[in-house]
Structure 1
């Protein structure tokens, strides 16, 4: 994120956190299910600023589950603004964004932060950068829709998301089975649009 003096960007899942504890992580954005317990992995990390968001990785309402909401994306954007504001106090930094698997919510959050920090970068370029950070990225479409609106990208992020999904399906057809099992057929349809 060139505009906020972050030199290292990492996306991972919960089971990968331990291997990042010695990597001088300065900022963490955790996106967890609401019922998930506090993660012990962060006790082994050095000093860092951490923000925790809690909602489920779903794209349609389900009983007993918390949908991603515009306020969640607003919190991600506030995190990004705070990160940008802290630039004067440091020369570099390491941002780690994680969710349960490091595939959907965390990649949507990172894409949102990239788009916020680089308002003039074309949307397809942002998704290319996201794939460089996390090759298996499949961002949550609801979150990207809210980010598109909040950042006034006028549908361009959502359109680029469809092209990103198509790219991912071409490079790893297993996404079809995974997203079908997760009841995310609407995202698969976006890849063909």
Structure 2
């Protein structure tokens, strides 16, 4: 079953090892050291460097359309025969947005509200970055449904680090890591 696994920076190694992931997506501040697990070839690791902010802020890199386009290009080349791991610093905002975007892009027939609800059921702290979601919603032609779905689940519980979780591409039930 193809799965999108979400975790924090600290849990990359164990998550990749436990899942047998073939691809890795990093969404983190530029300059943050990220050690790519040896089992992930360099060409199967996407590094997107930007800050976890919702509005452009001086001295910071805001999530941009180009980041979403790079993510979409990368996940469309993923064969989904083995899991993919998506992470950010805490596994709460940028990575949960990227997981949501990935499922919406690869399974356009799936309902956005259902996917968002599965994220909430799997991760009480998940707070997908709405700026990323907004760009993806427009690019994917979802007519505001992605944004509304994430707004409907609301901000997650405060946490320093999110608990790793997974989303199945094809099933409508939460998946354990």
Q: Would the TM-score normalized by the shorter structure come out above 0.5?
A: yes
Is there any run of 5+ residues in structure 1 with no aligned partner, and where? Answer: 1-5, 176-193
Structure with greater Cα Rg: 1
Counterpart secondary structure, 1:22: helix
Q: How far is the alpha carbon of 1:135 from its aligned partner?
A: 3.8
Identify the match of residue 55 of structure 2 among 42, 48, 60.
60
TM-score (norm 1): 0.74
- Equivalent residue number for residue 39 of structure 2: 46
Q: Deviations over 1:20-41 (max 9, x none)?
A: 242212110111101212x23x
Query: Residue 7 of structure 2 corresponds to which residue in structure 1?
Result: 12
Aligned Cα RMSD in Å? 1.9
Structure with more of its chain in helix, by fraction:
1
Distance in 2 separating the partners of 1:60 and 1:47: 33
Superposition TM-score, scaled by structure 2 size: 0.80
Q: Is the 8 A contact 2:7 2:15 kept in 1?
A: no
Matched residues, number:
156
Q: Give the 3-state SS of the residue equivalent to 1:75 in structure 2.
A: helix
Structure 1 residues 118 and 27, CA gap change in structure 2 (3 angstroms): same
Distance in 2, matches of 1:61 and 1:76, equals: 20
CA deviation after TM superposition for structure 1 residue 67, in Å: 0.5
Greater RCO (CA < 8 Å, at least 6 residues apart): 2
Which blocks of at least 5 consecutive residues in structure 2 are unaligned?
160-177
